[in-house]
Amino acid sequence: MITNEITKINNTALLNKVESEYIKEDLPNVRVGDTVRLGVEIREGKKTRTQAYEGVIISQKNSGINKTITVRRVMQGIGVERCFLLHSPKIKTIEIKRSSKVRRSKLYYLRELSGKATRLKQRF
């Protein structure tokens, strides 16, 4: 019984040590409602390039190195949502374009709205 507890402690310490190597320290403080521009590394064959993805953060999940955000934007009248791991090496840049004042932790209601109804009040 004691050996199981010791291995659990060792496994947790080992996991924390490995995760700490990959955590990005220079991330901006992004919040739900922010309009962000992400530089995402895309591989096409042997070439790599950085693709810009801009949209509103509609949800955020915080769990250490597995911190994710869901970014929504409308392209040609169709809503597109994409989830990003913030500490992923594929994310090259994160730039906050605009901060909005919201009173919800998840902005899933934006999925049902269209046009000017999707605008959010700007935070100054």
Listed by start position, the domains of the chain span 28-111
User: Using an 8 Å Cβ cutoff, are 60 and 66 in contact?
Assistant: no
Q: Between 98 and 11, whose confidence is greater?
A: 98
pTM over the 0.75 mark: yes
Q: Between 3 and 20, whose confidence is greater?
A: 20
Residue 91 pLDDT = 95
Question: What one-character-per-residue DSSP string does 38-97 give?
Answer: EEEEEEETTEEEEEEEEEEEEEEE--GGG-EEEEEEEETTEEEEEEEETT-TTEEEEEEE
Reported confidence tier of residue 55, pLDDT bands at 50, 70, 90: very high
Give yes or no for residue 41 having a pLDDT over 90: yes
What dotted CATH number matches 28-111?
Answer: 2.30.30.790
- How does pLDDT run across 72-94, given as a tens digit for each residue? 999 998 999 999 999 999 999 99
